[in-house]
Amino acid sequence: MPSKSIDHAFTARQNLGAAGDPTYAGALSFMRRRFTKTVKGADAVVWGLPFDAAVSNRPGARFGPQAIRRASAILDNDPQYPFGLDLFEALAVVDYGDCRFEYGYPQKAPAIIEREAAKILRAGAFLVSLGGDHSVTWPLLKAHAARHGAPLALVQFDAHQDTWPDDGKRIDHGSFIGRAVHEDIVDPVRSIQIGIRTHAPEDCGIRILHGYEVEEMRAKEIAETIAAHVGDAPAYITFDIDCLDPAFAPGTGTPVAGGPSSAKMLSVLRQLGPLDIVGADIVEVAPAYDHADITAIAGAAVAMHYLGLLAEKKRR
């Protein structure tokens, strides 16, 4: 039974079970999970990365974690669609809060993220990270590769390849994928990008499903293509919200027309249960450009799907 207290994020005494807060009130953790820095015993940890100093166009993704948490409030209490179960009946999830950055030293951010992510992963928890611009995925990939073995398969939902030239020193949301391949953090043979609608000078050998291809394919076909390409490799999923068409995600820094709907991409995620997913993130939600929380709601749904797949895996 849901707790009858309010502000479940602070008043909860355990990490299991739904909250009882009204959707319009109460402390806003992700899906009302308990705020704590104690990871021991948690199956999954949700962590905010409010960093956007690496953007090439519009800033504002530093406010993404706040917006996603706010939008996620409506997802708690009822059995979560499309999983048809209370995700937190058996899945212990905590909200670890946000990573702290010194705004005057953006060059230090990757090391801070990698170090803290490694600490969480050592506790044995699955890490769901809320960005932040897409540069935060680089240190997350390094931390996950150190934990689960390199190279990782990368499943990237994005309008951009993020493989632009990189000298190994840039703090850039558009070049880190190329760096990850060149430094053997990501295995290009097992990696795939979905929804790409721009051209970069190099594809790094990664399989691409371009935007118009995705438009012609059914969600089931896309999911099967991903599963066949990744195989049994440990996989990290990164979801740049600009993978979605701006009609479904206007609140982002570099929107690109011609993308898929939120319904279609969520359906793809729903069908990725066969993958060996070791970590995941949702990035580039910039609420200043959003309307009626459209983008934040989509971002919260993506993160909820990650937890849903994990809950199903634990039940099996």
How many domains is the chain partitioned into structurally? 1
Compute the distance between CA of residue 121 and CA of residue 117 in angstroms, rounded to an integer.
Answer: 6
Q: What secondary structure letter does DSSP report for 80?
A: B
Q: What is the pLDDT of residue 4?
A: 66
Q: What is the pLDDT of residue 5?
A: 77
Please state the φ and ψ torsions of residue 77, each to the nearest 5 degrees: 85, -65
Q: What is the pLDDT of residue 71?
A: 97
Compute the distance between CA of residue 229 and CA of residue 227 in angstroms, rounded to an integer.
Answer: 5
Global model pTM greater than 0.75: yes
Domain assignment present for residue 289? The answer is yes
Cβ 134 vs Cβ 110: under 8 Å:
no
Domain assignment present for residue 2? The answer is no
Compute the distance between CA of residue 152 and CA of residue 235 in angstroms, rounded to an integer.
Answer: 6
Calculate the alpha carbon distances from 165 to 119, 168, 287 in Å: 31, 9, 29
Q: Which residues of 87-115 are buried (b: 16+ CB within 10 A; e: fewer)?
A: bbeebbbbbbbbbebeeeeeeebbebbbe
Burial grade of 201 (CB within 10 A; 0-12, 13-18, 19 or more): exposed
CA 131 vs. chain centroid, Å, equals 7
CA angle 142, 136, 108 (to 5 degrees): 85
State the 10-residue block means of pLDDT for the chain, 316 residues long.
Answer: 72 88 90 95 97 95 98 89 93 97 93 98 97 97 97 98 91 92 97 97 96 98 98 98 98 98 98 98 98 98 98 90
Q: What is the pLDDT of residue 110?
A: 96
Q: What is the pLDDT of residue 174?
A: 87
Nearest to 55 by CA among 13, 109, 124: 109
Tokens representing 145 are: 């590769």
Range of the domain at 51: 8-315
CATH of residue 267: 3.40.800.10
Compute the distance between CA of residue 102 and CA of residue 109 in angstroms, rounded to an integer.
Answer: 8
Tokens representing 50 are: 């409010």
Q: What is the pLDDT of residue 2?
A: 45
Domain assignment present for residue 1? The answer is no
Tokens representing 128 are: 């769901």
What's the number of CA atoms in the CB half-sphere (13 Å) around residue 285?
34
